[in-house]
Every structure is written in structure tokens, then in C-alpha cells.
């Protein structure tokens, strides 16, 4: 039985993971899952002064088959150090180099675009262990008018190659027509040069898949103009972070978007794309669909494709039948939506209330 660590984290992370757990416990699967809840987040940090220990990293790495995380970030920790240690710590120390963020239009009525000409159906492969997220850099003369702050943008051949290859392997496996590289090679010549060279090298091995290259500013514009033009997008850590919030909003809102942080064959951590949303936390307003769709990605990861499909269909059914939270114009609470979806995947027809 696969062992899954649940890390609800902070703010609405706790609310949405409660519903994701409910769905995971309701969906019929062959072996079931051993779910263990972990107390990592701002509460623990403020209480004990500890973010996450080396032992905990080791346990999560060696004794678990997957992790399902809510969100980390709390106004009581303005420096965000616990989120850096836990979330970025897990991404870096488990070497989860693929941040996979699928964006599929749930229903045109939930897109802010006036007209969505075609379907939005794309996947972002965000590099997840390098870029400006490594913490390399430093500060000089802090707090004075002469302060200098340097945040290095780290791009290694190995890191760039493996994320681009993962994107092409996925495109081939899922018969996706095109892979688009997103960069800023016009301004960032060294990093851009490396990404473009490696992209050409890797793509040569996949002659049936079309390729395209876009500067990130033009991509932000074009995703709004004609999102149906894109299928697989591969990009660096920071650009992937930004583009994935934009693409999520186009498809139904940040509250509905799932993601997977992967080291294929080794580790997997699933988390909704959204954060801890302090502005709505604790009020039953959070949309649990992003977290619940992470359950679908997790089931798919364990080869439970039918169960994954039933979770995804239950989310669509909930929307069709008006079971949504205020972000989508609905009047249901986080729990009501979670319970409805859980009943649906368990084989019930949904709620009558
Ligand atoms: P956010 O994603 O938390 O919120 C952005 C906006 O979207 C807010 O208006 C929020 O109410 C809304 N929103 C987000 N998720 C929603 C949901 N499920 N249902 C309904 N509305 C939702 O981003 P932010 O405000 O920039 O960040 C808040 C905190 O979360 C910060 O500390 C940030 O660092 C952290 N964060 C963590 C993660 C993560 O753990 N993976 C991701 C993003 C941000
Ligand atoms: C995300 C988040 C994180 C990121 C933050 C919380 C560090 O925005 O998962 O998208 O930038 O990767
Ligand atoms: Mn983000």
C-alpha cells in the first residue's frame, strides 16, 4: 500500500487538503493508501522555532511514496523562511526537477477571456531546482543607500537538458503536437544561449513534434490572445512560476489548478498551484478543486488511471451542477464542494442539499 505524507501547511492549505484527503479516501482503488499527516508550517515554526529537520527530510525521502502538500506562507512569518525551508527545501533536496502544471479549460464560463476561440489545453514544464531560486548571491551594505543585492540566475547544462527532455518525452508519450520553449534570450544572452542550444539538441531526437520559441513577455501576451495555440511549454523556474498563474487563471482560476513536482522514478510531491491565500483563510471560501485535482494526478502517478479519471470527472460534474465556491461565482463552502465530489467518486450521485 503506497504511503503518502499529507502536509496541509498554512492558511487555506489546511482547508483544501482536508477535502483532498476526503476524496482520496472515498475513491475506490485497488490497494488503498496509507495517509500520514505532517505538522509542518507556520504554526510549528512559531511554536517550536523549527521549520523542518534533516531527519524529517530523510523520512519523507526514504519512507514515503508521495507527498501531498497544501500551501506554505503566513503573514506572521513575513520573511517566509519556513516556506523556503519546507517547500523549496523539498523541491531542492528531493531533486524534484520537473514542476508539471497542466492547464485545461474547465468551462468557458469560468475563463476571464471574452471569447476562448478554442480549448485551452496545455502543460507547463517548469524547471524546479535552479534559476533564481537557488539562493546563490548575497548582499552588501544592507540597510544603507549603497546596498547591493545579488540573486544569481543559475542554469546548468544538466538541469536544462533534463527538463527539456522531460517535456519532449511527455509530448511523445501523450501525442502532444508541439513543445514551446519560453525564455528571455534577447536580454539574457548566456542563459538564453544555453537553453536554445539544448532545446535544438534535444528536439532533434523528436522529429515528429513541432517546436517553437517565445520570449516570456510575448508569451504572456499570446497566452491571453490565443491560448489554444499552445500545448507543451518548457521554461525556467521563475518564468514557469509566472506563466503558470496566468495560464491557471485562463482556465478557471487559480483555485482549480493542480501541479506535480517530480523526479521521475524517484519522488513525487503534489500541490495546488495557489498559495495559502491569507485574505480568505479560515472562512470556508477556498476552492478545493486544485487540491482535489492533485489527487487525480497522484492517482495517475500510481497507475490508478480509472480512479484518476473519476476524480477529474467529478470535478467537472460539480461545476456543471453548480457546486462551486465564491471564486467561481458559487455559494458553496470548501467542505460542501469537497463532500459532494467525495460522494460522487465513491459512486453516489452527489448531494441533494
Ligand atoms: P495566493 O495564491 O495565496 O492568492 C492569490 C489570490 O488568489 C488571492 O486573492 C486568493 O484569495 C486567491 N486564491 C488562491 N487560492 C484560492 C483558492 N483555492 N480558492 C479561492 N481563491 C483562491 O497567492 P499570494 O497571495 O501571492 O500568496 C499568499 C501566500 O502563499 C504567500 O506567503 C506566498 O508566498 C504563499 N504561496 C505559497 C505557495 C505554495 O505553498 N505552493 C504558492 C503560492 C504562494
Ligand atoms: C509556487 C509558489 C512558490 C514558487 C513560492 C511560494 C516560493 O509561488 O509554487 O508557484 O515561487 O515556486
Ligand atoms: Mn507561484
DSSP for 228-282, written as a single string: GG-SEEEE-HHHHHHHHHHHHHHHT-GGG-EEEEEETTTEEEEEESS---TTTTT
> What pLDDT is stored for residue 117 in this prediction?
65
| DSSP structural state of residue 131 | B
% of the chain with per-residue pLDDT over 70: 98
- 170, 176 Cβ separation under 8 angstroms: yes
| DSSP structural state of residue 154 | B
Angle (CA) 39-315-285 rounded to 5° is: 55
pLDDT at 350 over 80: no
At residue 31, φ and ψ (nearest 5 deg) are -100, -20
* Pairwise CA distance, residues 77 & 131, whole Å: 24
Q: How many CB atoms lie within 10 A of CB 264?
A: 15
Ligand 1 pocket (Cβ < 6 Å) reads: 12, 16, 71-73, 80, 83, 87, 254-255, 271, 274-280, 286-287, 290, 325, 327
At residue 233, φ and ψ (nearest 5 deg) are -120, 130
Catalytic residue status for 133: yes
> What pLDDT is stored for residue 271 in this prediction?
98
Mean pLDDT for the chain overall: 96
Condensed to tens digits (0 to 9), the pLDDT of residues 204-253 reads 999 999 999 999 999 999 999 999 999 999 999 999 999 999 999 999 89
Superfamily for domain range 112-250: Isopropylmalate Dehydrogenase (3.40.718.10)
The single residue of 10, 241, 285, 327 carrying the catalytic annotation is 241
DSSP string, 186-236: TT-HHHHHHHHHHHHHHHTT-TTSEEEEEEHHHHHHHHHH-GGG-SEEEE-
> What pLDDT is stored for residue 348 in this prediction?
59
More confident residue, 108 or 96: 96
User: Strands 34-37, 98-104: parallel, antiparallel or unpaired by DSSP?
Assistant: unpaired
All CATH 3.40.718.10 domain ranges in the chain, comma separated: 1-96+258-353, 112-250
SS3 147: coil
> From the CA of 330, which ligand is nearest?
1
Q: Which of 237, 277, 315, 335 to mutate to test the pocket of ligand 1 (most atoms within 8 A of CB)?
A: 277
pLDDT average, residue stretch 123-141:
98
User: Is CATH 3.40.718.10 what the domain over 1-96+258-353 is classified as, yes or no?
Assistant: yes
> Of all atoms in ligand 2, which is nearest to the CA of residue 241?
10
> What pLDDT is stored for residue 306 in this prediction?
96
Ligand 2 pocket (Cβ < 6 Å) reads: 73, 83, 87, 241, 273, 275
Residue identified by cell 543559475 is 154
Amino acid at each position: 500500500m503506497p504511503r503518502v505524507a499529507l502536509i496541509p501547511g498554512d492558511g487555506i492549505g489546511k482547508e483544501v487538503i482536508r477535502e483532498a484527503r476526503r476524496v482520496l479516501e472515498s475513491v475506490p482503488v485497488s490497494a488503498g493508501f496509507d495517509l500520514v499527516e505532517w505538522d509542518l508550517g507556520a504554526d510549528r515554526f512559531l511554536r517550536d522555532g523549527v521549520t523542518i529537520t534533516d531527519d524529517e527530510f530523510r523520512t519523507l525521502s526514504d519512507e514515503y511514496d508521495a507527498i501531498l502538500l497544501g500551501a506554505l506562507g503566513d503573514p506572521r512569518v513575513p520573511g517566509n523562511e519556513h516556506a523556503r525551508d519546507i517547500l523549496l527545501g523539498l523541491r531542492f533536496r528531493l531533486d524534484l526537477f520537473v514542476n508539471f502544471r497542466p492547464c485545461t479549460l474547465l468551462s468557458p464560463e469560468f475563463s476571464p477571456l471574452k471569447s476562448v476561440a478554442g480549448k485551452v489545453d496545455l502543460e507547463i514544464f517548469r524547471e524546479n531546482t535552479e534559476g533564481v531560486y537557488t539562493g546563490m548571491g548575497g548582499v552588501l551594505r544592507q540597510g544603507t543607500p549603497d546596498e547591493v543585492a545579488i540573486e544569481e540566475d543559475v542554469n546548468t547544462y544538466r538541469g536544462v537538458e533534463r527538463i527539456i527532455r522531460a517535456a519532449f518525452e511527455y509530448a511523445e508519450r501523450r501525442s502532444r503536437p508541439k513543445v514551446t520553449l519560453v525564455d528571455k534570450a534577447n536580454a539574457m544572452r548566456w542563459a538564453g544561449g544555453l537553453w536554445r542550444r539544448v532545446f535544438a539538441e534535444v528536439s532533434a531526437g523528436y522529429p515528429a513534434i513541432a517546436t517553437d520559441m517565445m520570449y516570456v513577455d510575448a508569451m504572456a501576451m499570446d497566452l491571453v490572445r490565443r491560448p489554444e495555440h499552445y500545448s507543451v511549454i518548457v521554461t525556467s523556474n521563475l518564468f514557469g512560476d509566472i506563466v503558470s498563474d496566468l495560464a491557471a487563471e485562463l482556465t478557471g482560476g487559480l483555485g482549480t489548478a493542480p501541479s506535480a513536482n517530480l523526479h521521475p522514478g524517484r519522488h513525487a510531491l503534489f500541490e495546488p498551484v495557489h498559495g495559502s491565500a491569507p485574505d480568505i483563510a479560515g472562512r470556508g471560501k477556498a476552492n478545493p478543486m486544485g487540491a482535489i485535482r492533485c489527487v487525480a494526478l497522484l492517482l495517475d502517478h500510481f497507475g490508478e488511471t480509472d480512479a484518476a479519471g473519476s476524480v477529474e470527472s467529478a470535478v467537472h460534474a460539480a461545476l456543471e451542477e453548480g457546486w462551486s465556491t465564491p471564486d467561481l461565482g458559487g455559494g458553496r463552502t470548501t467542505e460542501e464542494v469537497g463532500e459532494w465530489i467525495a460522494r460522487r467518486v465513491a459512486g453516489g450521485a452527489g448531494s441533494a442539499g
